[in-house]
Amino acid sequence: MFDPLLHQNIRSKLISLLISNEELPFKALKEYLKVTDGNLSSHLTKLEKAGYVRIEKSFEGKRPKTVIYITDEGRRAFKKYIEALKEFIEEN
């Protein structure tokens, strides 16, 4: 009934953050969501596989940097998910 990828606390917060900021570095997401590197990576991999986010890895000098972008597909899925949540609450 609900998108299983988005119906999860960390991932729904993560997508909400990306919607209000368009793009955010991995470090910023990690600090905000208070999760470990591994935990965040696993959530991001799932979202990336579904095409909801785009992950760009680059180097800033010698330091690796990862930036996460929300995709149009991600926006659409999130909108649908919110509508489904609202509908469910109204019906029950």
Partner 1 sequence: MHKKEEALEHLSAIKSVLIDKDSFFPYNYNALIIWGLIGTIMTFTMPYLIKHSVIEGTLFSIAMMSIGFFIEGLLTKRVNENYDIETCTKKQRFIASSFTILATFAIIFSAFFAKQDLIVPLFMIWMFTCGFGHYVVGYVLNIRLFTVVGYISIVTALILFIVSIFMIDLGDINSLFFYICQVITFVVLGILPIWMGRKLKKEL
Applying the rule CB under 8 A, the residues between 2 and 61 that interact with partner 1 are 2, 7, 9, 12-13, 16-17, 19-22, 24-28, 31-32, 60
Cα–Cα distance, 18 to 20 (Å, whole number): 5
In whole angstroms, give the CA distance from residue 76 to residue 58. Answer: 27
Q: From the CB of 46, what's the least distance to partner 1, in Å?
A: 17
From the list 22, 25, 33, 12, the residue with the least C-alpha distance to 82 is 12
Counting residues that bind partner 1 (by CB under 8 A) gives: 28
Q: Using an 8 Å Cβ cutoff, are 29 and 19 in contact?
A: no
Interacting residue ranges for partner 1, rule: CB under 8 A: 2, 7, 9, 12-13, 16-17, 19-22, 24-28, 31-32, 60, 65-67, 82, 85-86, 88-89, 92
